[in-house]
């Protein structure tokens, strides 16, 4: 859908809107069409139109999430949140128009060049998300997982990815080893944005002005909101973000957070492959296969980022059977006892943002 078509839809969604300019805006290409609009009073708006029913449902979820952010919660955040200005329903799809917030997203290379001041802003913003009251999620009937439930979910997703026959065996072994590494998964579950990456962080110079894309809010692993950072080939910048995050959090982050973040970034390629099969998209499957092969090559050449607390056993040439059953509770891990249990039925793989998918650098 073109920017002009999106502008026409936005005019129907917001009565009295007199638009004078429009331009396409980056978004999850497989799921949404987006545009930035300017009206006759020089006010800016963002329009986001889903391409299929599942994407439309995600936008409905985001509206539910934004409504759950009471004024008191918004006032505690060091950044702004989007506001839905109007909607238009076309068949089974709903297009959303948002009031515009100053700032723009920047590529990860630009973020890293922003130095300590920007790293401090990013770390503080992520900490504020993770310190939100979990009732924001649970009262809205959004997904909520304890640490052990989250690990079981990942094992279920790994089994689903393995059935495609397209994952290199060495990657399956690597991920299975990490997911069975019980100490790695001792963390306190928190509110998680779930779709955090550079395109959903708006900047005005070195200041984070807003966080966008609230379609995947949940209680789960805080490491997921750091997965995009492993693409920044600047350890000093990432370390500064982590220091700012730890200083701003109300509780100390667990010591293995970045290991699980690296695992999440790698495993996103498998999730994209599964999504491609589900959508019967040859292009998505081919893209995922290419990125998986590149990741395998990089790990073979450079060793890969650490994703486990103990080294993986040497490959024997045979792919071990992936046992997907109930993971035994760790009696020493009761940090998440107060979190609402997840549904018993295995959930499908998480939605993966196409703009965030990339082969991560593995040698620093």
If asked whether residues 168 and 29 sit together in one domain, one would say no
If asked whether residues 86 and 121 sit together in one domain, one would say no
In a domain, 34, yes or no: yes
pTM over 0.85, yes/no: no
If asked whether residues 131 and 68 sit together in one domain, one would say no
CATH of the domain at 89: 3.30.200.20
Pairing mode of beta strands 44-50, 32-39: antiparallel
If asked whether residues 71 and 136 sit together in one domain, one would say no
In a domain, 362, yes or no: no
In a domain, 167, yes or no: yes
Full residue range of the structural domain in which residue 34 is found: 3-99
If asked whether residues 70 and 214 sit together in one domain, one would say no
Quick: pLDDT tens for 132-152. Answer: 999 999 988 899 999 999 999
If asked whether residues 316 and 203 sit together in one domain, one would say yes
Domain boundary among 99, 134, 162: 99
If asked whether residues 239 and 164 sit together in one domain, one would say yes
If asked whether residues 89 and 206 sit together in one domain, one would say no
CATH of the domain at 316: 3.90.1200.10
271's enclosing H/E stretch is: helix 257-278
If asked whether residues 61 and 163 sit together in one domain, one would say no
If asked whether residues 229 and 346 sit together in one domain, one would say yes
Contacts of 224 (CB under 8 A, 6+ apart): 192, 194, 196, 260, 261, 264
C-alpha distances out from residue 254 to 22, 178, 291, 339, Å: 45, 16, 30, 17
- The CA distance from 58 to 50, in Å, is 9
In a domain, 361, yes or no: no
In a domain, 37, yes or no: yes
In a domain, 363, yes or no: no
If asked whether residues 321 and 183 sit together in one domain, one would say yes
In a domain, 9, yes or no: yes
- The CA distance from 297 to 265, in Å, is 16
If asked whether residues 13 and 139 sit together in one domain, one would say no
In a domain, 235, yes or no: yes
**Domains in the chain, number:** 2
Domain boundary among 77, 99, 121: 99
| pLDDT tens digit at each of 364 positions of the chain | 888 989 999 998 888 888 999 888 877 777 889 998 998 888 889 899 999 998 999 899 889 889 889 899 999 999 999 889 999 998 899 999 998 788 888 888 889 888 899 999 999 999 999 999 999 999 888 999 999 999 999 999 999 999 999 999 999 999 999 999 999 999 999 999 999 999 899 999 889 999 998 989 999 999 999 999 987 878 899 999 999 999 999 999 999 999 999 999 999 999 999 999 998 999 999 999 999 999 999 999 988 889 999 887 665 444 443 333 333 344 344 444 333 333 434 344 444 444 445 444 444 4
User: Is 246 buried (19+), middle (13-18) or exposed (0-12) by CB count in 10 A?
Assistant: middle
Domain boundary among 64, 99, 134: 99
């Amino acid at each position: 859908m073109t920017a002009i078509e999106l502008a026409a839809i936005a005019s129907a969604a917001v009565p009295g809107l007199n638009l004078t300019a429009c331009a396409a805006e980056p978004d999850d290409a497989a799921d949404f069409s987006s545009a930035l609009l300017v009206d006759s009073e020089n006010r800016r708006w963002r329009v986001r139109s889903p391409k299929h029913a599942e994407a439309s449902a995600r936008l409905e979820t985001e509206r539910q999430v934004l409504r759950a952010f009471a004024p008191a919660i918004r006032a505690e955040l060091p950044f702004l949140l989007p506001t839905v200005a109007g909607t238009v329903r076309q068949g089974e799809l709903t297009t959303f128009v948002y009031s515009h917030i100053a700032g723009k997203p920047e590529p990860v290379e630009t973020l890293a060049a922003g130095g300590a001041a920007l790293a401090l802003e990013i770390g503080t913003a992520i900490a504020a998300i993770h310190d939100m009251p979990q009732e924001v999620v649970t009262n809205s009937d959004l997904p909520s997982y304890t640490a052990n439930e989250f690990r079981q979910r990942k094992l279920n997703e790994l089994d689903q990815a393995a059935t495609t026959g397209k994952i290199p065996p060495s990657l399956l072994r690597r991920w299975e080893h990490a997911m069975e590494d019980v100490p790695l998964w001792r963390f306190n579950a928190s509110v998680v944005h779930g779709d955090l990456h550079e395109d959903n962080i708006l900047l005005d110079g070195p200041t984070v002005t807003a966080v966008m894309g609230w379609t995947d809010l949940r209680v789960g692993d805080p490491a997921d909101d750091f997965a995009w950072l492993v693409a920044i080939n600047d350890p000093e910048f990432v370390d500064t973000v982590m220091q700012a995050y730890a200083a701003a959090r109300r509780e100390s982050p667990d010591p293995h957070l970045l290991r699980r973040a690296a695992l999440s970034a790698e495993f996103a390629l498998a999730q994209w492959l599964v999504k491609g099969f589900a959508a019967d998209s040859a292009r998505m499957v081919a893209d995922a296969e290419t990125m998986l092969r590149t990741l395998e090559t990089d790990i073979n050449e450079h060793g890969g980022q650490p994703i486990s607390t103990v080294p993986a056993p040497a490959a024997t040439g045979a792919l071990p059977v992936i046992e997907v059953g109930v993971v035994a509770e760790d009696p020493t891990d009761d940090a998440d006892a107060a979190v609402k249990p997840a549904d018993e039925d295995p959930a499908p793989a998480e939605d993966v943002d196409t703009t965030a998918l990339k082969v991560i650098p593995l040698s620093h």
